[in-house]
Chains A and B, each alone.
Chain A
Amino acid sequence: NAGVTQTPKFRILKIGQSMTLQCTQDMNHNYMYWYRQDPGMGLKLIYYSVGAGITDKGEVPNGYNVSRSTTEDFPLRLELAAPSQTSVYFCASSPFMNTEAFFGQGTRLTVV
């Protein structure tokens, strides 16, 4: 089992560029999440999904979009990158809400 796989691990973007962070899981989990982690702060939920075709906003959704066309994949899209989006992004999945979550290795994104 690969678990939760995120790509890329590192990326530098210029202001205004767009990119997609990929996330895939092979555990057949219904729930998937995107978090961002800023220095000295707790993880913040960006978006989550309770199943294919269903997504919902978390605490800090502005500037991001997601889609969930399959159970396995939950990509996160940044349309117009801004310096405030410099962060470490984590994708996670769980079988149900508020059960043990499995995290990807993270993507360190820098916007310059």
Chain B
Amino acid sequence: KNEVEQSPQNLTAQEGEFITINCSYSVGISALHWLQQHPGGGIVSLFMLSSGKKKHGRLIATINIQEKHSSLHITASHPRDSAVYICAAGGDNDMRFGAGTRLTVKP
């Protein structure tokens, strides 16, 4: 079993829908990271959180430390949100990455 599991693996939504991507981890963490990988391959950091919730525009990330679970929500999804979303569990000395969730938002 992978140390970081994401679900779903693939997700197709219609423009405007509310999106939820889930991440469960089995390792101890200092912080949980959400990354976005664009269709061209580039990776950018979206969030780093160790408790509670963070919001940036239409993106919201939450974490439940006790349950070792985090979610990434996208409100009012748009085709430009189409990308692979990666969850990473950051420990003291390294990060363990999930396999990613491929999101496609159709107009």
Contacts and interface: CB of A to CB of B under 8 A. Distances in A.
Interface string B35-47: 0000011111100
Contacts of A97: 92-93
A100 B41 contact: no
The main secondary structure of chain A at its interface with chain B is loop
Interface stretch (B53-61, B67-75, B97-105): B97-105
Interface residues of A, number: 23
Contacts of A106: 41-43
B94 A42 contact: no
B45 A101 contact: yes
Interface residues of B, number: 25
A35 B2 CA distance: 17
Contacts of B33: 100-101
A53 interface: no
B78 interface: no
A45 B95 CA distance: 8
